[in-house]
Amino acid sequence: MFYRIKDWDKYFEVAQSRPCKKMSWVAVPNRHDGSGYTTVADHPRKCELFTAWNLILQVASKMPTRGVLRKDGKNLTAQELAKRTRYPKEIFELAFKVLVEPEIDWLECVDEDRQALDP
């Protein structure tokens, strides 16, 4: 199982980013009224979740397949994200648990056996 950003191409790619081979930035929507955002904003650990989310976006923007938390066949775990970003692994564990919930739906957990079937 690995994680990927839900609808990466729709929300985080723009005309300027599509031709780039190596990213040093990521386009992030600035809506604050969507149901996913408001659910995160109402969460008791909202600061940790939103921090983890933005770090996940930044890391995902630099992956070989943008938006997918995998590199060289290796799934990026909470521990790996913590190592890369120097933030606590606990915030990524929380994000993996909460951001996949249907009310938020920002991340999706993909079964490696189904990977070829999914976009």
Burial of 76 (0-12, 13-18, 19+ CB in 10 A): buried
Query: What pTM, to 2 d.p., does this model score?
Result: 0.89
Q: Check whether 119 has a pLDDT greater than 80.
A: no
| Amino acid identity at 60 | A
| H helix or E strand, kind and range, residue 71 | strand 70-71
Q: In the chain, where are the structural domains located? A: 2-13+32-114
pLDDT tens digits, one per residue of 34-88: 999 999 999 999 999 999 999 999 999 999 999 999 999 899 999 999 999 999 9
